[in-house]
Amino acid sequence: MMYADFYRRSVVTPEQFWRDEAALIDWNTPFSQVLDYAKPPFARWFVDGKTNLCHNAVDRWCETQGDQPALIAISTETNTERSYSFKELHVEVQRWAAMMQALGVRKGDRVLIYMPMIAEAAFAMLGCARIGAVHSVVFGGFAANSLASRIDDARPVLIVSADAGSRNGKAIAYKPLLDEAIALSSAKPSRVLLVDRGLAPMQRVEGRDVDYAALSAAHLEARVPVTWLESNEPSYILYTSGTTGKPKGVQRDVGGYAVALAASMKYNFCGRAGETFFATSDIGWVVGHSYIVYGPLIAGMATIMYEGLPICPDPGIWWSIVEKYKVTRMFSAPTAIRVLRKQSPEFMRRHDTSSLQALYLAGEPLDETTSAWIAGELGVPIIDNYWQTETGWPILSIAKGVEDLPTRLGSPGVAMYGYKVRLVNETTGADCAANEKGVVMIEGPLPPGCMQTVYGDDQRFVDTYWTQDGDAMLYSTFDWGVQDADGYYFILGRTDDVINVAGHRLGTREIEESITSHPNVSEVAVVGVQDQVKGQVAVAFAILKDANLGTAEQDIMAVVDRQLGAVARPARVYFVTQLPKTRSGKLLRRSIQAICEGRSPGDLTSIEDPSSLQQIQRALFASL
């Protein structure tokens, strides 16, 4: 099938298109209407249909492939590894569902999950889905203030947590952070269910804290039937990273999400039942929800849940997992691949990765150098994909399950089925011509699987994301992009990361791409810094492969001059050995900018290594 025809059908006759795709999942009660868009921009998909995420991820596979692997939990932090078959996962999930019911959780109640990357976290998520509870996963190790704000917004009746997570062999105690967060919050949960891994001491609060091992023993043979949910009932809340002020909870539905994931596993990730999927993200982020827990299981695949670093115990650990479990599809982030690129290629080459058929990368723009390197090492297609917490599955990519279109270096691909992507001129509001820079927007209704609303605040959903364009409503991704004559999109960075240099509007990503093309640059962050004459100037912080500075700054500026023109040339290039990032690998550009301008770097609860900010400060101080 030609992808152009497939895509056209999805946007011209969306109701018939998604009616067909809805057959990819099980329905307890058929839907009466594919789409209700009577109150734009709020879309209701598969109205009156009843289904369940846990049933589609677990139960329906027990009869046909019950003894095959479903969840493979690996921790190089604790040197543990266990594989659960679909039947075993079915037992564990029912046990967790029973425990939560015993603690007072009912359909529609919120359960906050603050857990490391261990199997019990997935059991808890699926247990919530089974009984119709709404889970809200918060990245394990988030600071108390950030956790408290999420507790107050979600108002959970139960929190599920553990004594500690672990990173690079060092225990990160969760319980003290959780206790402080609950003390700070006004919406205090009645119960806290705790998994004790033996990594850090825990002090339990009498009458509130419940020991998982003891409660689990009382529900070993629990049988908990699926609670069938109307398609548009909420499945989970996930707070967007980098939220300031009141948290912004992305609320997802049940039926639309299940259908979208099933379709994406078929058309985007080419997953087949019985194969193995390995996403290296964390359940605290949207990739973990969609492509560690729900997506692969809905497709009948085994999914790998990994706790650890990509370079410990050695930089070949991921490839050893690919070899051992015959991974066919792998999903990671450009940052992780850049880390591996710095290591000896021998660590990869000592493992048999021949089972791997494709590597998918997302979460940040994929630079051409990184893409070309990993493609050469693995010998498989490297497929970029662009999406957001808000959409739940890719907006731009290559759907090789429909047509094997070529990838294009620097581009995540073309618009995915169901998404009416438009590039809009920020000034005129008109659609952009080929190769004209504009804001990436999606014409409503958003396809199945995207956010329903901001949890508890419909007006904020409308005000934050939507603008009226004649009869249509447009959802803003807040990203700049261009589209070439062949329909391939290129993402140029956030609209709020624009640098206005003497009236010239420049995206930080454009300058970063130029600088990273210099053969001695490993990684770079570019921010706009206030300037009395030009309004703003670009300032770059670069990591060099060869630490000998020499004429590096002048050489880098010459590259930018040549590729983008003198107006884009950084005012200064500073050299550091690491850049400040979140634990999910995203650069903290706003914090870098704040330090450059003498302001507070803001909320740093998710920073990977605080010393990286000190490097920024030292580099600036040394230049004075």
State the Rg of the chain over Cα: 24
**Lowest-confidence region among 161-165, 186-190, 419-423, 602-606:** 602-606
pLDDT in tens, 249-304: 999 999 999 999 999 999 999 999 999 999 999 999 999 999 999 999 999 999 99
Closest CA to 99 of 179, 200, 216, 177: 216
Q: All domains of the chain, ordered by start, with CATH? A: 3-308+385-464 (3.40.50.12780), 502-622 (3.30.300.30)
- For residue range 35-60, what is the model confidence (pLDDT) as tens digits? 999 999 999 999 999 999 999 999 99
pLDDT for res 67: 98
Q: Average pLDDT of 236-251? A: 76
Per-residue confidence (pLDDT) for residue 504, from 0 to 100: 62
Q: Which residues, including other chains, have CB under 8 Å from residue 470's CB and lie 6 or more apart?
A: none
Give the lowest-confidence range in 12-16, 409-413, 525-529, 535-539.
Answer: 535-539
Task: Copy the structure tokens of residue 161.
Answer: 């947590």
Share of the chain above pLDDT 70, in %: 96
pLDDT in the model for residue 496 = 67
Cβ-based burial of 243 (10 A; exposed 0-12, middle 13-18, buried ≥19): middle
pLDDT in the model for residue 615: 87
Residue 564: is its pLDDT beyond 90? no
Question: Cα–Cα distance between 382 and 401 in angstroms, integer?
Answer: 14
How far is CA 263 from each of CA 118, 202, 393, 489, rounded to the nearest angstrom?
Answer: 27, 43, 10, 22
CA–CA gap between residue 385 and residue 491 (Å, rounded): 11
245 or 489, greater pLDDT? 489
The confidence score (pLDDT) of residue 503 equals 56
pLDDT at residue 245 in the model? 53
Give 364's pLDDT tier (boundaries 50, 70, 90).
confident
> Mean per-residue pLDDT for 448-454?
98
d(CA 613, CA 615): 5
pLDDT for 624 equals 58
Q: Is the pLDDT of residue 502 over 80?
A: no
Q: Retrieve residue 623's tokens.
A: 């230049």
What is the pLDDT at residue 500? 66
Kindly report the average pLDDT of the chain as a whole number.
92
In this prediction, residue 244 has a pLDDT band, given cuts at 50, 70 and 90, of: very low
- What is the reported pLDDT for 290? 98
For 356-379, what is the mean pLDDT? 90
Rounded to two decimals, what is the model's pTM? 0.85
pLDDT band, very low/low/confident/very high, at 240 (cuts 50, 70, 90): confident
C-alpha 102/C-alpha 49 separation (Å) is: 28
pLDDT at res. 605: 67
All residues at 6 or more sequence positions from 100 whose CB lies less than 8 Å from its CB, including other chains? 111, 124, 127, 128, 131, 133, 158, 193
Averaged pLDDT, 530-540:
81
The full DSSP string for 158-176 is EEEEESEEEETTEEEE-HH
CA–CA dist 230, 450 (Å, integer) = 16
d(CA 440, CA 444): 13
pLDDT band at residue 311 under the 50/70/90 scheme:
very high
Tracing tokens 């630490």 back to the chain, one arrives at 547
- pLDDT at residue 588, as a whole number: 86
% of the chain with per-residue pLDDT over 90: 76
358 vs 534, residue with greater confidence: 358
Alpha helices in 342-457 (DSSP H): 346-349, 368-378
Average pLDDT over residues 606-624: 81
pLDDT over threshold 80, residue 82: yes
What pLDDT score does 243 carry? 34
Burial of 608 (0-12, 13-18, 19+ CB in 10 A): middle
| CB atoms closer than 10 angstroms to residue 425 | 14
- Give me the pLDDT at residue 498, please: 66
**533 pLDDT tier (thresholds 50, 70, 90):** low
Q: What is the mean pLDDT of residues 556-568?
A: 81
Give the pLDDT confidence of 368-421 residue by residue, as tens digits: 888 999 999 999 999 999 999 999 999 999 999 999 999 998 899 999 999 999
Please, which pLDDT band fits residue 246 given cuts at 50, 70 and 90?
A: confident
Whether pLDDT at 242 is above 50: no
pLDDT of 95 over the 60 cut? yes
